[in-house]
Structure 1
Amino acid sequence: MRGIEKRFPGVYALRDVSFDLKPGEVHALMGENGAGKSTLMKIMSGIYPRDGGEMFVDGRPVTPEGPRAAQALGIGIIHQELSLMNDLTAAQNVLIGREPRRRFGRLDEAELNRRTAKIFASLNLDLDPRAPVGHQTIARQQLIEIAKALSYAPRVLIMDEPTAALNDAEIAELFRVITKLKADGVGVVYISHKMDEIKRIADRVTILRDGAYIDTVDAASTPLSEIIRMMVGREVTQAVPVIPDTAHQPMALEVRGLTRGREVRDVSFSLRKGEILGFAGLMGAGRTEVARIIFGADPREAGDIIVDGKPCDIRSPNDAVRAGIGYLSEDRKHFGLATDMTLRANIAMASLARFTSRTGVLDEAAMKRTAQDYIARLGIRTPSDTQEVRLLSGGNQQKVVIAKWLLRDCDILIFDEPTRGIDVGAKSEIYALLEDLAAQGRAIIVISSELPEVMRLSHRIAVMCEGRLTGILPGGAATTQETIMELATRRESALAEG
């Protein structure tokens, strides 16, 4: 790709960007959110037309006019945002448009499942081809997406944040697959914000910043600090967290004996005003399930939820919001944002009553003033408050969700994977924002699959395994990753032994 240009309304997404990929190479593409990485890859995979520049495959010029044309050229892509159909089975998603047929065009369901099972087996994936995708966790959906892309036997495979929802064992399995692809001569474009992954898997790294090409460097010999500096245009330092003493603060939230099947079993904990309580655990430990029950998104079978010392019968998100609880889902695109609506509308969405007259007319001027205030307060990077949220970077989208709940004046905020898919610079901003909210007296729960993040943010750390709370640890330097993992793998048999 040479001299690639791309413009959107109000945004110059790519300026004179070049990129090349060799057979059997993993070439990492890095940059902050909004740097242009996904846009460049969508041009490569035929999703977006380019406004300028040239693209070559095997030395000949090409212009893929759509994803199918790119697939015909041997280019496959695994999107950061999943593109699966929840009502279809895993097999129907993997082989959609290529389903085996019997006589008279009837679908051969048995052969469909057999072929998909063979694909899963080649990747060592323990997945049921017949299971509806909508019933799977985000991590399993990600693995199905990967299998779907590899089923086309691509020569070029683009992976956009492929490990965002995977645990360590699944990441190791994915890297095994990538190593096999390299040996088969497949070129892999790898987009990730996880610096340790880049060192483990990449051969070269190309850095973009603000839609412009910065440099291409050797992954093994270039320090991570130098890659980060090129990404953000400045030095990024992580401040040593200061754990405040919140023991004297009033209780904001108490959860007693929370239970829902085997997903959440007799979970009890407390949260004080001004405190950040981190939740750690492996995938499927029950952390998100606890959050969804507290927020009323899922029903509870037993247990009590106490807010500001008063029992609350929370049976729906409306009940939770009225109790002063806000929830930022791990899947912000589906459960936190209306991506085709404006930034202004998204911020006001949970508080429309305050902008609505008695006759039902929205006060657009007041909504505009409020949106601009939060844009300034949270440092949301956008051309205007009327920008569609889908055109914002991941970090800025997350800030819009935060603004929505701050406007609703929620005193208890639950952040589920707050920095998933967010670059290192935006992570620092989100961390600072959470710490500022806690300093203002808000009570915060942070659920994260990244142990350094949990340790960096949390005043205390609650660890879960198989639906149970296995321990609560102090935050900061008093706790190690090894201690957390010991509790995160302390299964029911170990608990029974004492």
Structure 2
Amino acid sequence: MTSSTVLAARNISKRFGGVRALDAVTLEVRAGDVHCVAGENGCGKSTLIKIISGVESPDAGEIEIGGRTRSRMTPVDALRAGIQVIYQDFSLFPNLSVAENIALTPLIAHRRKLVNPRDVRTRAAAVVAELGVQLDIDAPVEELTVADRQLTAICRTLAEEARVIFMDEPTTALTRHEVQALFRVVQTLQERGVATIFVSHKLDEVLEISQHVTVMRNGAVVASGPVGEFDRVSLGRAMTGRDVRDLRDVPHFDQGAQPVLSVEALGLDGAFEDVTFDLKPGEILGITGLLGSGRSEIAEALFGTTPAQRGRVKVGDAEVKIRGVADAVAAGIGYVPSDRLTEGLFLDQSIADNVVAGSLDLHRARFGLLDGAHLRRTIDAFFSALRIKAPSVAAPIRSLSGGNQQRVVLAKWLARGPRVLILNSPTVGVDVGSKEEILDILRKEAGKGKGVIVISDDIPELVSVCHRVLVVRQGRIRQVIDGEHLTEGSILEGLNA
């Protein structure tokens, strides 16, 4: 352990039953560095975090921090050593204020029995000012955006004098603009000498923010070194064990065909105005914009969750009035929401139940009874075609990885055979291998003649899969980028114009 190393985990191994979760994993982190631990879902990243933070005990190996070597950590050991973990759910108290979330935990950890509210606000305000972020310390956490909840969690770790902060998939629910704001906060942490372990599977973010990278696959470290030794190709290969495409790959479609969807002068007060575009059969259309631009509201209007107040919508040759979700579904429009866990799936139900949840009316036989044989054929067909990785169709949704959950949401809508499929952030929270497979599914569905709309701020994703991209700013379509002009640079320029 060198003088600049603040944390060293050596030869950490762990089994759960007969399953090997970690196999002699070694990780060294230096003060003030951003060290990315990258890997697909299930590679062992979360288990490693739990062992270092004392939640789990290793079967073998040792952890060295603060000049002391331990065969295992307890949560109290980890906190006293300055190790903090910001999980994806942030572990905040939603009914308490920002100030209370920041200051109360360290006060409780020091066994303070009486707490002065003025002292709480003073402590919280000092941390927020030191980090240089904008937070209303009196606001209830339950009213904050995802990005502000994350900032609250970071401020809490600083109030507890963290030396090492683990951020577990910190950008999963953030827009590109919010990601850049988070990176600025991470740079501030670096200046304070705080080491950040950035756990992610997003190639661009790993390469942008880190100084060192450790790549895990199947519970083992397969590559480690300075970030300059990696690029998207080598990093993707290390994470997946195969070459990951990094090229524009869009299916052919007939540009002279009649539109499958026509939108004219669509408007909703406070959200968007004069939205007009056509979507051809086989076309993949991207819609992007910064947070608050109106991009998601356009999708929600087309699906009827928040109907537009003005404008016309045609599906094929027929004009349709979309006053609610039932109207959109009846017109042949499907929608995969950005939050699959709360809006797209029944978590405690099986894969089978979720796949056919949206198409039971299409599986009825005589007298309105469900056709069991037809249901089984549909379930088995999509389970196989979308390569859902699970022991069987009886597995509960809650047990699946993010990528497989997203496949099930797709299967649910594809089972209805929609003419238009709208997807809001289709690869959020899925690893690089699953992301590639999901984008391939979209290409195949477009190849069958469906019109596909992808709402996203993942710029490489848009370039990879879309024929055209609409850039939305302040509720209006400000730019249409297509053909050879569709590049990451042109989209970024359009967003920031």
Offset, 1:448:
1.4
Residue 200 of structure 2 corresponds to: 192
Query: Aligned pair in 2 of structure 1 residues 440, 114: CA closer, same or farther (>3 Å)?
Result: farther
Offset, 1:316:
3.0
Residue 31 of structure 2 corresponds to: 23
Secondary structure (helix, strand or coil) at the match of 1:349 reads coil
- TM-score of the superposed pair, with normalisation by structure 2: 0.84
Query: Aligned pair in 2 of structure 1 residues 96, 372: CA closer, same or farther (>3 Å)?
Result: farther
> Is residue 61 of structure 1 aligned with residue 76 of structure 2?
no
> Is residue 263 of structure 1 aligned with residue 271 of structure 2?
yes
Alpha-carbon distance in structure 2 between the residues aligned to 1:53 and 1:338: 38
Offset, 1:185:
3.4
Out of 447, 467, 485, which is 1:478 matched to?
485
Residue 496 of structure 1 corresponds to: none
Residue 229 of structure 2 corresponds to: 221
> Is residue 351 of structure 1 aligned with residue 359 of structure 2?
yes
Alpha-carbon distance in structure 1 between the residues aligned to 2:90 and 2:379: 29
Residue 436 of structure 2 corresponds to: 428
Query: Aligned pair in 2 of structure 1 residues 11, 412: CA closer, same or farther (>3 Å)?
Result: farther
Deviations along 1:325-355, one digit per CA (max 9) or x if unpaired, are 2221222222222333332232232234456
Structure 2: gaps (5+ residues): 1-8
Provide the identity percentage: 37
Offset, 1:433:
1.1
Query: Aligned pair in 2 of structure 1 residues 484, 230: CA closer, same or farther (>3 Å)?
Result: closer
Query: Aligned pair in 2 of structure 1 residues 338, 246: CA closer, same or farther (>3 Å)?
Result: same
Out of 289, 305, 309, which is 2:313 matched to?
305
Alpha-carbon distance in structure 2 between the residues aligned to 1:316 and 1:95: 44
Offset, 1:212:
2.8
> Is residue 176 of structure 1 aligned with residue 184 of structure 2?
yes
Moved more, 144-153 or 395-404: 144-153
Residue 418 of structure 2 corresponds to: 410
Out of 12, 18, 21, which is 1:3 matched to?
12
Offset, 1:444:
0.7
Query: Aligned pair in 2 of structure 1 residues 439, 376: CA closer, same or farther (>3 Å)?
Result: same
Paired residue type of 1:225? V
Residue 3 of structure 2 corresponds to: none
Offset, 1:195:
2.6
Secondary structure (helix, strand or coil) at the match of 1:344 reads helix
Query: Aligned pair in 2 of structure 1 residues 348, 169: CA closer, same or farther (>3 Å)?
Result: closer
> Is residue 374 of structure 1 aligned with residue 411 of structure 2?
no
Query: Aligned pair in 2 of structure 1 residues 64, 301: CA closer, same or farther (>3 Å)?
Result: farther
Moved more, 57-66 or 418-427: 57-66
- TM-score of the superposed pair, with normalisation by structure 1: 0.84
Query: Aligned pair in 2 of structure 1 residues 19, 480: CA closer, same or farther (>3 Å)?
Result: closer
Residue 216 of structure 2 corresponds to: 208
Alpha-carbon distance in structure 1 between the residues aligned to 2:142 and 2:23: 39
Alpha-carbon distance in structure 2 between the residues aligned to 1:142 and 1:355: 44
Offset, 1:289:
1.3
Secondary structure (helix, strand or coil) at the match of 1:438 reads helix
Q: Is the 8 A contact 1:113 1:129 kept in 2?
A: yes
Moved more, 260-269 or 122-131: 122-131
Residue 448 of structure 2 corresponds to: 440
> Is residue 231 of structure 1 aligned with residue 239 of structure 2?
yes
Offset, 1:470:
1.0
Structure 1: gaps (5+ residues): 491-498
Alpha-carbon distance in structure 2 between the residues aligned to 1:258 and 1:94: 43
Query: Aligned pair in 2 of structure 1 residues 64, 342: CA closer, same or farther (>3 Å)?
Result: farther
Paired residue type of 2:84? G
Paired residue type of 1:264? F
> Is residue 52 of structure 1 aligned with residue 55 of structure 2?
no
Moved more, 141-150 or 209-218: 141-150
Secondary structure (helix, strand or coil) at the match of 2:358 reads helix
Secondary structure (helix, strand or coil) at the match of 2:418 reads coil
